[in-house]
Chain A
Amino acid sequence: GDSVTQMEGPVTLSEEAFLTINCTYTATGYPSLFWYVQYPGEGLQLLLKATKADDKGSNKGFEATYRKETTSFHLEKGSVQVSDSAVYFCALSFSPGGYNKLIFGAGTRLAVHP
């Protein structure tokens, strides 16, 4: 079935370090891909999305490129801040707007230290 696999956490970085969180997917069709972030005590917030191959989603310095050939959607940020500490979820959906169900990865906890 359709699934999303993320690298296991926690990921611990120093402030201003480069971040990569790997995400790969298995899907029978051509899904849209998403990154959601969950800050402590809060709900899931959409961080960025891409709806077709080679699209790059970006927001708040984060970016991810939809790679159909490697079925990947890795999250990157050039210089992390302490405020980026959160859990990051990769997800897929078969609707461009995501109004069909989302299938989530297990989440990756990021801890950024000063």
Chain B
Amino acid sequence: EPEVTQTPSHQVTQMGQEVILRCVPISNHLYFYWYRQILGQKVEFLVSFYNNEISEKSEIFDDQFSVERPDGSNFTLKIRSTKLEDSAMYFCASNRGAKAGYTFGSGTRLTVV
């Protein structure tokens, strides 16, 4: 069964550093998403991406965040200057569109120290 692949599974970074979280969505999917889950809290929507542009973003997704689909297969989330409160599990997801469910990746646990 096709999978959404996320790398790395765990990343530790120092506060103020830039991080890039990587995702390979399912190849025939058209919509791509990032969600995050701070430990013990809800899974929160960050951003959706379609046709090479952001279709929706949450208030969490401020100027420190950006997304990119650089080569038609990868989908990345960049955090420019990490803060302690960015520590969370980040999930990538994709789907084909209407009447198709999401497929989530296994997540990247980001720890900012």
A41 CB within 8 Å of chain B: yes
Report the tally of A-B residue pairs with Cβ distances under 8 A. 63
B89 to chain A, nearest CB (A): 10
Are A105 and B42 in contact, CB atoms less than 8 angstroms apart?
A: yes
Which residue of chain A is the closest to B93 with respect to CB atoms? A44
Are A107 and B42 in contact, CB atoms less than 8 angstroms apart?
A: yes
Are A107 and B43 in contact, CB atoms less than 8 angstroms apart?
A: yes
Are A44 and B43 in contact, CB atoms less than 8 angstroms apart?
A: yes
List, in ascending order, chain A residues with CB within 8 A of B18's CB.
Answer: none
Are B105 and A98 in contact, CB atoms less than 8 angstroms apart?
A: no
Number of A residues with CB within 8 Å of any CB on chain B: 24
Which residue of chain B is the closest to A105 with respect to CB atoms? B42
B31 CB within 8 Å of chain A: yes
User: 1/0 per residue A85-97: CB within 8 Å of B?
Assistant: 0000101000111
- Which of A45, A97, A103 sits near B104, CB closer than 8 Å? A45
Are B102 and A98 in contact, CB atoms less than 8 angstroms apart?
A: yes
User: 1/0 per residue B33-62: CB within 8 Å of A?
Assistant: 101000001111100100000001010000
B106 CB within 8 Å of chain A: yes
5 A-B pairs with C-beta separation under 8 A: A44-B104, A46-B101, A97-B100, A99-B98, A107-B42
Nearest 4 A/B pairs, CB to CB: A97-B99, A44-B104, A43-B104, A104-B43
